[in-house]
């Protein structure tokens, strides 16, 4: 859209000056199906990488939690079936809510998660995007789910948001059900992983420990709810768990030993009542978060970090959020996603997709060449 603005020169008072203010805006449809959430959104976007601004026209996420509860975790074949069933329904709802009149070509670009995640579910989103792209004759920008989480810090519920300038060097701690990594951000789209888990992801550890304590899936919110109830009460000195790799020289993590330690602890003190369950939840949360916080603080010091981003499903954890506020203080700018956008959503895929689209000078891969990559790295 080109908007011409004519105004009278205030100094001379007579010469009309014509300024051409180019306002290029485009509509993007974003799709997220990397795990058990089906997300579709439409946003109107404008600006370059450093001043991109977004307006959410419609945003929907359908969670499959209730379907996976009986399995105690995500059952991939079932997740795939649900995505296939939900995608057309959510698309229709999203298009309707967006109030876009052009039915032949409602958007100018499609962004879709192509990894990391569960390959069968990633494929459902990709093939759905490919069909739409052909029908509407629009390009597709494939997106890395973890880059999406990183950029979710800018999205909010107010419907309009901007990609803010951040001070470099910046660091991101990405914590989810499949990932735990410390990422050095040289600039957007230019990353270096400087630390990561050597075994389980921290979210996975929360989920597995929750299962040991007979708490429903997903375990993270359940453990943290119990832990918060117990936080300011007298400590049970018999309930102690290790902090794996806390003093290792590198910036890596390990959560599998911590999970096993919980199993042995439960066996030692069985039968466990409600109170001890909450005490175990608290000690586990303290141990896991202490590992995350300690290595993040170490990375901040080593790389003279000026901006810290904490994102991914586990960034909903209140104790983690509080501890990160403590270590950053006033000197380091801390960005956290709003609570409702810590989990998987397609707004973050839209932000990452758009920034990559601009960075690639609007070049996109051939539609049929886009493939799911479950192990995609930043
Ligand atoms: O990013 P996400 O929604 O999906 C993946 O990409 O994996 O992260 C899901 C993970 C689950 O393991 C879940 O238990 C964990 O995030 N989680 C939490 C909390 N809320 C969600 N972990 C700890 N505390 C929470 N409050
Ligand atoms: Zn995620």
What confidence tens digit (pLDDT) does each residue in 179-206 have? 999 999 999 999 999 999 999 999 999 9
Burial level of 12, CB count in 10 A (0-12/13-18/19+)? exposed
**Confidence label for 67 from pLDDT (cuts 50, 70 and 90):** confident
Closest Cα to atom 13, ligand 1: which residue?
A: 220
The pLDDT of 65-74, averaged and rounded, is 84
Ligand 1: residue whose CA is nearest its atom 2: 313
For the cut 80, the answer to whether the pLDDT of residue 358 exceeds it is: yes
Distance CA 294, CA 156 (A): 29
pTM of the shown model: 0.93
262-279: average pLDDT: 95
Superfamily for the 2-157+342-369 domain: ATPase, nucleotide binding domain (3.30.420.40)
Ligand 1 lined by 207 (C-beta under 6 Å): yes
**pLDDT band, very low/low/confident/very high, at 221 (cuts 50, 70, 90):** very high
Q: Is 74 in the pocket of ligand 1 (CB under 6 A)?
A: no
Binned at pLDDT 50, 70 and 90, residue 71 comes out as confident
pLDDT value for 10: 40
Residue nearest to atom 14 of ligand 1 (CA): 220
Q: Is there an atom of ligand 1 within 6 Å of 39 CB?
A: no
Cβ(115)–Cβ(27) below 8 Å: no
Give the DSSP per-residue string, 171-188: EEEEESSS-EEEEEEEET
* Averaged pLDDT score across all residues of the chain: 93
Q: Which two tokens stand for residue 6?
A: 């004519």
Q: How far is CA 232 from the centre of its chain?
A: 30
How far apart CA 183 and CA 218 sit, in angstroms, is 25
Q: In the chain, where are the structural domains located?
A: 2-157+342-369, 170-337
Across the strands, what pairs with 25? 46
What are the tens digits of pLDDT across the range 135-162? 999 999 999 999 999 999 999 877 999 9
Q: Is the pLDDT of residue 70 over 90?
A: no
Q: What is the mean pLDDT of residues 124-132?
A: 98
Q: What is the percent of the chain where pLDDT is above 90?
A: 85
* Per-residue pLDDT, 66: 86
Give the confidence band of 23 by pLDDT, cuts at 50, 70, 90. low
What homologous superfamily is domain 170-337 in, according to CATH? ATPase, nucleotide binding domain (3.30.420.40)
Burial per residue of 327-339, b for 16 or more beta-carbon CB atoms within 10 angstroms, e otherwise:
ebeeebeebbbee
Cis peptide before 169 (omega within 30 of 0): yes
Instruction: Specify the long-range contacts of residues 81-89, CB closer than 8 Å, at least 24 apart.
Output: 82/36, 82/38, 83/33, 83/38, 83/121, 83/124, 83/125, 84/124, 86/38, 86/62, 87/31, 87/33, 87/38, 87/40, 87/124, 87/125, 87/128, 88/128
Name residue 21's beta-bridge partners.
3
Is pLDDT at 327 greater than 60 in this prediction? yes
Q: Do domains 2-157+342-369 and 170-337 have the same CATH topology?
A: yes
Residue identifier of the C-alpha nearest atom 8 of ligand 1:
313
Mutation test residue for ligand 1: of 313, 344, 348, the one with most atoms within 8 Å of CB: 313
In order of 32, 183, 261, 265, the CA distances from 256 in angstroms are: 28, 21, 9, 14
315 CA → ligand 1 middle, Å: 8
| Ligand nearest to the Cα of 218, by number | 1
The ligand minimizing its distance to the Cα of 292 is: 1
């Amino acid at each position: 859209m080109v908007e011409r603005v004519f105004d009278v020169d205030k100094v001379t008072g007579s010469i009309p000056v014509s300024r051409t203010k180019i306002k290029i805006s485009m509509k993007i449809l974003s799709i997220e199906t990397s795990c058990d959430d089906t997300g579709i959104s439409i946003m109107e976007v404008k600006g370059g990488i450093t001043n991109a601004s977004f307006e959410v026209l419609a945003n929907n996420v359908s969670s499959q939690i209730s379907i996976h509860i009986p399995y105690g975790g995500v059952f991939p074949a079932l997740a795939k079936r649900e995505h296939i069933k939900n995608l057309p329904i959510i698309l229709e709802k999203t298009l309707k809510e967006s109030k876009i009149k052009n039915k032949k070509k409602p958007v100018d670009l499609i962004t879709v998660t192509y990894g990391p995640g569960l390959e069968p579910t990633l494929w459902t989103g990709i093939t759905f995007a490919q069909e739409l792209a052909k029908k509407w004759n629009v390009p597709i920008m494939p997106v890395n789910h973890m880059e999406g989480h990183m950029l979710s810090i800018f999205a909010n519920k107010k419907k309009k948001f901007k990609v803010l300038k951040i001070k470099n060097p910046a660091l991101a701690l990405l914590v989810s059900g499949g990932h735990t990594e410390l990422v050095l951000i040289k600039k957007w789209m230019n990353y270096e992983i400087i630390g990561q888990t050597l075994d389980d992801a921290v979210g996975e550890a929360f989920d597995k420990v929750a299962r040991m304590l007979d708490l429903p899936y997903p375990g993270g919110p359940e453990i943290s709810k119990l832990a918060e109830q117990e936080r300011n009460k007298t400590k049970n000195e018999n309930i102690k768990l290790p902090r794996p790799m806390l003093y290792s020289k590198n910036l890596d993590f390990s959560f599998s030993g911590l999970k096993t330690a919980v199993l042995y602890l439960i066996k030692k003190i069985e039968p466990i009542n409600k109170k001890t369950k909450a005490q175990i939840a608290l000690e586990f949360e303290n141990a896991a978060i202490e590992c995350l916080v300690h290595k993040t603080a170490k990375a901040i010091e080593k790389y003279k970090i000026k901006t810290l981003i904490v994102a991914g499903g586990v960034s909903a954890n209140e104790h983690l959020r509080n501890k990160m506020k403590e270590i950053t203080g006033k000197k380091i700018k801390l960005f956290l996603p709003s609570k409702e956008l810590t989990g998987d959503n397609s707004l973050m895929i839209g932000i990452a997709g758009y920034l990559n689209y601009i960075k690639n000078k609007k070049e996109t891969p051939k539609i049929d060449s886009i493939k799911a990559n479950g192990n995609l790295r930043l």
